[in-house]
Amino acid sequence: MKPILKYYAILFVVLTIYLNISKYIFDKVYDTIQIVIDELFHIPQGIAYCERNFTYWDPKITTLPGLYLISSAFIGQHFPCNTYNLRLVNLAASCINLMLFSSILKYVYGNTNYAKTVLQALNLTILPPLYFFSHVYYTDTLSLTFLLAFSRLCLVNRYKILILLFGLMSVMMRQTNIVWIAMVFGHKILDIFIKSSRVFGNHFLSRTKLNSQSLIAKDIDKSMLKRYYSLSDLFVAVMYHITTCSVTFFKYLTLHDMLVLLTHSITLTSFAVFVYKNGSIVLGDKSAHEATLHIPQMLYFLIFYGIFGLPYVLAKFFSTIKLILSNKVKVIIFALLFAAVVHYNTIVHPYLLADNRHFTFYVWNRWFGKYDYAKYATIPAYIFLLFSLYDNLRQQNCVSFLLPYTVSLFLGLCLQQMIEIRYFLIPYIILRLRFNRPSGTVVIFEFLWYLSINAAMYYVFFSKEVMWKDFDYPQRIIW
C-alpha cells in the first residue's frame, strides 16, 4: 500500500471509531438534558435562524451569529429544526476538526509515522473541555473548525480568498478569534522583518562595514540566516531597520507576501470597524463582559497547561528543573512579579461565585476562595509550569512566533473578568500543535490521560444533579 493511502486508511478507521463512540455519548447527553446552561439562549436563536427569522436576536447572546448562520445553511430545509439536530452540527464539526488536526500535524512533523500523527489528532479532538462542547450547542467547536481551516491554509499561504473567507468566518463564530488572526499577521511581519535584516553591511551583526549604496550591502547574507531567532536577533533587526529606514524590509517584501499580509489586514480592519460601530467587542449583554485588566488569567492558563499537558510536563520534568536551576535570577523576578499580580489584580467575577454548574466554581471555592494564602501558595506551580511550557516550545519555535503569540494570549485572556475553561482551549491547542516532536509513549499517555479525564467528567455529568429555583429540571455540572 502506498504511504499516502495508508495514512488515509488509518485516518478513516480512527474517524469511524470516533464518530460511532461519540454518537453514543451524544445520544446519552441528549437523553439526560436537552438544555445545557447557555443553550437556553443558543438553541432558540439557532431555531429562529433555521426558520429564516434573521431579525430575531436574543440580547443575552454576546457572540456574532456565525454558529446560527452555519446551522441555518444545513438545518431547516433538509432536517427538522430542533435541539438534537442543532447539536449535531458541532458533532459533525468535531469530525472535521479531527481531519484538520491530522492534516496540520502531518505538515508540521512530516511523513514519519502516520499512526502517531492520527493518534495525536485524535488526542486533540478529545481534549476534554473541547470534547464535551462537541456534544452541545455552543460556539466553541465550530469556531475552532474555521480557525483550523484558516491556519492550515496559512501554512502554505495559498488560496488567499479562502484564507480571507475562513478568517472572517472564524471571527463570526467568536470575536476573540481575531487575536489569533492578528498573531498570524504579526508572525509573518516579524519573520520578514528579521530575515530582511540579515544582509551584508549590517554592522550590528558583523564588523563588516560596506557603503549603503553598494550592491553587496543589500544582498542577503546566507551565513547569517538561521532557522530560529531570539530576542537579541529581533533587537539587531530593529536597530538595523531604524538606521536604514526599513529600505531592506520593503526590498525583500515580495508580491506574494504583500498579498498574504493584505488578506489578513482586510480581516483585521473589518473587525476594527465592527468594534467602532458596535461600541464594544461583544454583542448583547455587555454588562457581564466588560473589558477589565485581569492578568492572573495568564497564570490560570498555565494551570490549564499543567493539567491537560501533563504528559508533556512529565516528559520534560528533569529538563525543566535544570532550566529553572540555571535561571535563578529569572525565577526570583518571576516570583516577585507573580506575587504582585495575584495580590493587586485578582478579580472574582460574580458568576464564578454563583454558578455551581461549572468545575471552576468548585476549584475556586475549595482553594483560591477558601484560603487567603492560596493565591500565593500557587506561585511556585506557576513558575515551574512557565519554564516547562518554554521547555516544550524552545526547540521548534522562535521569537517571530513566541512574541506575537504572547501578545495575542494577553489580549485574548487578560481583558476578561470571567474565568472560563473554554477561553483556554484555542491558546492551548495552538501551543500543542507547536510542541517539540513527542515520542510515541508521550502520545499514548496523552490519549489515556484524556480518556480518563473524559470518563470522570461524564460520570459527574450523568450522575450529579444540581437544583436551581429558576428551573423545573435538574442542572448538570460541566466544564
Mean pLDDT on 150-155: 96
pLDDT band at 452 (very low <50, low <70, confident <90, very high): very high
Cell 442542572 -> residue: 475
As a whole number, the mean pLDDT across the chain is 93
Mean pLDDT on 149-172: 95
For the chain, give me the number of helices (H) and strands (E)? 23, 0
| pTM (predicted TM-score) | 0.94
Residues 131, 326: Cα–Cα separation, whole Å: 39
C-alpha cell of 129?
473541555
Secondary structure of residue 456 in the 3-state scheme: helix
- Choose between 292 and 265: higher pLDDT: 265
Lowest mean pLDDT: which of 53-62, 184-193, 277-286, 353-362? 277-286
Is 80 exceeded by the pLDDT of residue 322? yes
Residues 387, 324: contact at Cβ < 8 Å?
yes
Residues 196, 294: Cα–Cα separation, whole Å: 37
Residues 353, 369: contact at Cβ < 8 Å?
yes
- Choose between 206 and 307: higher pLDDT: 307
394, with CB counted inside 10 A (0-12, 13-18, 19+), is: middle
Residues 366, 352: Cα–Cα separation, whole Å: 12
Overall size of the chain counted in residues: 479
Q: Within 13 Å and on the Cβ side, how many CA atoms surround 102?
A: 22
Is 70 exceeded by the pLDDT of residue 138? yes
* CA nearest to 450, candidates 26, 120, 32, 95: 120
Residues 429, 435: Cα–Cα separation, whole Å: 10
pLDDT at position 287 is 64
pLDDT band at 1 (very low <50, low <70, confident <90, very high): low
Is 90 exceeded by the pLDDT of residue 468? yes
